[in-house]
Structure 1
Amino acid sequence: MEKAFDTLDSVGPGVRAWRFKVRILRLWNLYSFAKPNQLNSIEMVLIDEKGDKIHATVPPHLLNLFRFKLNEGDVYRLFYFKVHKVSGLYRTTPHPYKLIFQLKTKVQSCENNGIDRFGLSLSNIRDICNRTSGHEFLVDVVGLITGISPPKEYVFCGKITPMIVFEMADYSGKCECIMSGDDVGDLEKMLGCGDNGLPLMIVQFAKIRNFRGNVAIQGVLSTRFYVNPSIPEAISFKNGLPIEGVETLSSIPAFGFQPKPAFEDDFLVNYPKISIVNLLESVENGIYVVGATVDGLVEGEDWWYPGCSCARIVSADSGAFYCKPCTKRPFEMVPRFRVKLKVCDGSGQAIFIVFDDDMNKLLGKHCHELVALSKAKNAGYYPPELELLKGIQLLFKVEKNSGRDVLFIGSFRVKRICNDVSVMKAFDSVLGSGDSSSYYGLFVKEEFTLFRII
């Protein structure tokens, strides 16, 4: 007769020959932050027949011994562990302790269909929104995807990383969920295979955080998700929905970052077209379109700033960076463009300030790349890519705001840039050859097409 196994809820301090029969509910690799290709540990969540869960870790010196013996979803008999107290802000279970594999730990594969394969501990969205971003436990949530934003990109550890934001709703409320990295592609594939109606989604082991001033949930390394799964929790949720009509919707409503209008609409239709001299003399705040030639860079001005993941500037604080809008200290700042251009159009001169998105598209490079190259080559104050902008003609959608802070005094923030030749010619013809600003349209440099914005 098989000897009785210990239950996970009985785990505590003290020397004991622990014996468990558990399923590996979740397993993921944890890599070094400084050396992304170096595996630091294997992390997992174990669940037993009673439904209790505990975190377990394979430390670095035992990776080669256990990494090929453990598979997510399988059931094992496990013997002999160290027990450590749990701490930190990414706790996968409420259990106060975690298990550490040892050299003498034994792993035996077995079968047990009585151990839950999903191990969900669902929270409703209202309860999640009542918690703070410092909540230490990861959460599970089920809801309908009621809105989704177009994918965005940001720089993380020097790499361009995709990000997507979607809105989840249940009977108690709604919140935003952020996914990034490989999860974005996986989610898009799952959504593409779904039927009509709003998709039902389960997100497991997600982090509660502050996002755009509200409580949201974010995917982390341990997070996994299911779209329209045929499991009891999903079926029960869908049967209990008090919402009508969700089955008839053919697509998920878009929200958040909307696609930009076509160049023709943005630069020829939506906003008044104006020369620089009239822009300077105008007393009316608003958005205007100006055609001008880049005359150079404003000397002695920084061309980039240290930014948070929210794109706001961070400041030095006690040896670290601090983002005031996010009220946090980002682990890593991201260089972002803020380039002050001197421009002219034959009627006058002005200073236009161009930021990250437009500079990325104009140069075909990201700010962190130029910062790294400048440091590596011990280059001058401005990278040569910025110097090459001199003499280029562009259309600028700019904002005139007399109430701007000191950063914009005597200058104008650029909202968007266009270098589409057909749009520029149409812009000049609309102004008419008699207008002072039509100087811009007299010629378009052939090499200008090298800087094609998509």
Structure 2
Amino acid sequence: MCFIQKTPEGGFLEMILMDERLFFTKGTIVKEHELLEIPEHVYDFTTFEEILSGQASSDVLVDVIGQFVDIEQERYDNPKMVIHMKDPRLSNFMEKHETGPIIIILTLAKIKDPKGECPIIIQGSHDSKLLINENIVEIQQYRNRLDSVPVCESLSQAISQISSVFEASTIDKFFVNTPVKSVMEINEFDRELFCVTLAKIEKFFVANGWSYEGCSRCNVKGDPETTYICSGCGKSNTGTVARFRIEILVSQEKECAEFVLWDKECVQLLNVTAAELKKQLIDDGEVDPLAFPEAIECILGKMLAFKIKVQPRCRKSFVIQISDDEQIIDSIKLKLPSDEV
């Protein structure tokens, strides 16, 4: 990576290299290359369904999009989720707004897990941005989907119907920039590739363990014995958190492949964290820290849609998303060769 700046004296340009992996040698040739248009903003929206179901991790910041309904005008008996924003622009915008839906994007928001009977809190962070009815593609696409939702007679009905708008977008999100490939094709790839497939979990590679000690802020492996600077998030840590890492064998007809399930997907499947599972083993009198918990065996035989990153060098594929949604599974079946379904 590099950038060009003009020196104060003028007359010539100075190139400053920002990445030590980039070298210029005597035979290096630099040519002008026309770059494709780079979008100003790229969003990876987390749906309300993912947040409410616990699929969205509270360890990372998220982008959310939705239709504004009201500001503390109606109280709910049992609210499930509350969005906190301290930006005065929203109330100011409401005073001037006349007609039409108000679509809001909140970037880099923090998910706060519920405590007791309290709802899930979505709160803006220091670096969050609030976009209100901006003239951008994402808001226009969301507004177009809302046009198909019938007019509602009550606020609760509106919230329910707005929630349904995400169903189609969740399915689209699963397939974005990821072609559907069969397990046979995945085994033949000689380069890294993101793709989607359908497969059944056949067995675990028990000898490779099921968990590791990771950074408390991200998923990078950490050192539980000392204070260290995490190579993933760059933060100082004094401890670690148990996280899942399970190697599995999956099958599709007569073909098999090795996948690696990480923490988020395992929690989604098992409804328990690695730390909680380790505590259960200790409470049950298990003294072997490498013992494979029986509770994990409940996922054997599951047919799932997998979004993966194929890693030919290690002959494994890393799972980055899973789904048991029937619409997603049916869509994959239609795109797979008939003899692979």
State how far apart, in whole Å, the 2-side matches of 1:291 and 1:186 are.
35
Structure 2 residue aligned with 1:424: 329
Does structure 1 retain, via aligned residues, the 8 Å contact 2:224–2:239?
A: no
Structure 2 residue aligned with 1:393: 303
Does structure 1 retain, via aligned residues, the 8 Å contact 2:309–2:318?
A: yes
Structure 1 residue aligned with 2:317: 412
1:258-407 → structure 2 map (5 Å cutoff): 262-267=169-174, 270-308=177-215, 309-316=217-224, 319-320=226-227, 323-379=230-286, 381-402=291-312
| Residues 384 and 294 of structure 1: CA distance in aligned 2, closer, same or farther (over 3 Å) | same
Structure 1 residue aligned with 2:147: none
How many residue pairs get aligned? The number is: 211
| Residues 373 and 188 of structure 1: CA distance in aligned 2, closer, same or farther (over 3 Å) | farther
Structure 1 residue aligned with 2:157: none
Residue 418 of structure 1: CA displacement? 1.2
Largest Rg, 1 or 2: 1
Per-residue displacement from partner, 1:358-414 (whole Å, max 9, x unpaired)? 2221222222221221222134722223111111111111112346xxxxx121101
Does structure 2 retain, via aligned residues, the 8 Å contact 1:148–1:252?
A: no
TM-score between the two structures when normalised by the length of structure 2: 0.50
Residue 354 of structure 1: CA displacement? 1.2
Where does the alignment leave 5 or more consecutive residues of structure 2 unmatched? 1-42, 52-56, 64-80, 95-107, 109-123, 139-165
Residue 188 of structure 1: CA displacement? 3.4
TM-score between the two structures when normalised by the length of structure 1: 0.39
Of 195, 199, 203, which residue of structure 1 is paired with 2:92?
Answer: 195
Paired residue secondary structure (2:178) = coil
State how far apart, in whole Å, the 1-side matches of 2:235 and 2:131 are.
42
More helix by share: 2
State how far apart, in whole Å, the 2-side matches of 1:342 and 1:163 are.
29
Does structure 1 retain, via aligned residues, the 8 Å contact 2:223–2:239?
A: no
Task: Supply the AA of the counterpart residue of 1:391.
Answer: G
1:9-408 → structure 2 map (5 Å cutoff): 187-188=84-85, 194-196=91-93, 249-250=132-133, 262-267=169-174, 270-308=177-215, 309-316=217-224, 319-320=226-227, 323-379=230-286, 381-402=291-312
Per-residue displacement from partner, 1:305-344 (whole Å, max 9, x unpaired)? 2121122210255x45552344554133122211111111
Does structure 2 retain, via aligned residues, the 8 Å contact 1:296–1:389?
A: no
| Residues 378 and 320 of structure 1: CA distance in aligned 2, closer, same or farther (over 3 Å) | farther
Per-residue displacement from partner, 1:43-76 (whole Å, max 9, x unpaired)? xxxxxxxxxxxxxxxxxxxxxxxxxxxxxxxxxx
Structure 2 residue aligned with 1:81: none
| Residues 400 and 366 of structure 1: CA distance in aligned 2, closer, same or farther (over 3 Å) | same
Paired residue secondary structure (2:181) = coil
Task: Supply the AA of the counterpart residue of 2:304.
Answer: L
Structure 1 residue aligned with 2:111: none
Does structure 2 retain, via aligned residues, the 8 Å contact 1:263–1:423?
A: no
Does structure 1 retain, via aligned residues, the 8 Å contact 2:243–2:275?
A: yes
| Residues 378 and 345 of structure 1: CA distance in aligned 2, closer, same or farther (over 3 Å) | farther
| Residues 314 and 188 of structure 1: CA distance in aligned 2, closer, same or farther (over 3 Å) | same
| Residues 148 and 363 of structure 1: CA distance in aligned 2, closer, same or farther (over 3 Å) | closer
| Residues 192 and 296 of structure 1: CA distance in aligned 2, closer, same or farther (over 3 Å) | farther
More strand by share: 1
Does structure 1 retain, via aligned residues, the 8 Å contact 2:184–2:255?
A: yes
What percent of counterpart residues are identical?
20
Paired residue secondary structure (2:247) = strand
Task: Supply the AA of the counterpart residue of 2:331.
Answer: A
Paired residue secondary structure (1:279) = helix
Residue 299 of structure 1: CA displacement? 1.7
Task: Supply the AA of the counterpart residue of 1:274.
Answer: K
Where does the alignment leave 5 or more consecutive residues of structure 1 unmatched? 1-146, 154-159, 167-183, 198-211, 213-226, 228-245, 404-408, 439-454
| Residues 247 and 416 of structure 1: CA distance in aligned 2, closer, same or farther (over 3 Å) | closer
Task: Supply the AA of the counterpart residue of 1:382.
Answer: F
Per-residue displacement from partner, 1:150-182 (whole Å, max 9, x unpaired)? 7999xxxxxx9687689xxxxxxxxxxxxxxxx
State how far apart, in whole Å, the 1-side matches of 2:89 and 2:62 are.
16
State how far apart, in whole Å, the 2-side matches of 1:340 and 1:280 are.
16
